[in-house]
Structure 1
Amino acid sequence: MYKNILVPIAFDETRDSRAALEIAHAISEDGAAITALHVVEEIPSYVAQYLPEAQHKTNLDEIGEALKAKVNGDAGVTVKVVEGHAGHSIVEYAAQNGIDCIVIASHRPGFQDYFLGSTAARVVRHASCAVHVVR
């Protein structure tokens, strides 16, 4: 099956990240690497200048801890937090880290995103590896 799987995690109740992690384990080879990735939108410079100097790092550390809690200490899952636009950053991370499958949760579509959520749709269209969408 797959040797290096990426599972983007959103802190959003409409996306089933637990199911995405279960699927990642189910389709992984023995000894496969599974990475849970959360993308944080970059803070605009006009806002960042008003934050205390260490605030940004503190925020990223707290998000990393929350992500670890969300995956419930799942053995064999590495946790990563990156900054940027979600769709772009997921595809870029996959390309730079030899990911061979992305397992991404998508919410039930509304009228504005008829088939897939905007992040899932971008990943499906632009990823150079296999993508498994969980609903």
Structure 2
Amino acid sequence: MYNHILVPVAPDHINDCSLSLDAASRLLADGGTVSVLSVLEELPSYIGSYFPAEQVQKSVSEFEERLGTAVEASNISTHVVTGHPTNSILDWAEKHKADCIIVASHQPGLSDYLIGSTAARVVRHAQCSVVVLRGK
């Protein structure tokens, strides 16, 4: 059983995280917590320069609200950060002392064999246990 489980959720899959949260609830120790993390990728500087400086924070705040609404439970906290998905997940897990990461994975395509999926990179580099839920 784990005391702090991190469940990364892709921004376009916030309504599809019930399997991950169900797995987390089954693996969670009594009194443990689940953290749901979404990572919004930063805009390239050549695109970001066309937006007001506060646009990124506004987008994060709006997405935090959507995520909080989609995931409602007393022992689940939601977090939204900006950055590279894999690095942000790994950094967040280490900083907040997650002892397990539950990551969803899709069936690999050709691009996954060439550069690797986020789930694959998390599995290879995480400093804690990782549970991979295979999707369709």
Tell me the TM-score normalized by structure 1. 0.88
Q: Distance in 2 between matches of 1:134 and 1:109?
A: 13
For residue 18 of structure 2, what is the amino acid of its counterpart?
Answer: R
Q: How does 1:113-132 map to 2 (within 5 A)?
A: 113=112, 118-132=117-131
1:111 aligns with 2:110: yes
Secondary structure at the counterpart of residue 128 of structure 1: coil
Q: Distance in 1 between matches of 2:21 and 2:97?
A: 19
Deviation of 1:87 (Å): 0.8
Deviation of 1:16 (Å): 4.4
Change (3 A) 1:46 1:113: closer
**Does the 8 A contact of 1:10 with 1:17 survive in 2?**
no
User: What is the number of equivalent residue pairs in this alignment?
Assistant: 131
Change (3 A) 1:78 1:109: same
Q: Distance in 1 between matches of 2:131 and 2:52?
A: 40
For residue 58 of structure 1, what is the amino acid of its counterpart?
Answer: K
1:19 aligns with 2:19: yes
Identity of aligned residues (%): 45
Change (3 A) 1:112 1:54: closer
- Counterpart of 1:79 in structure 2 is 78
Q: CA RMSD in A?
A: 1.8
Tell me the TM-score normalized by structure 2. 0.87
- Counterpart of 1:99 in structure 2 is 98
More helix by share: 2
Change (3 A) 1:58 1:128: same
- Counterpart of 1:69 in structure 2 is 69
**Does the 8 A contact of 1:16 with 1:105 survive in 2?**
no
- Counterpart of 2:41 in structure 1 is 41
Deviation of 1:95 (Å): 1.0
Deviation of 1:47 (Å): 2.2
Q: Deviations over 1:53-87 (max 9, x none)?
A: 4322211111111211222x122110001111111
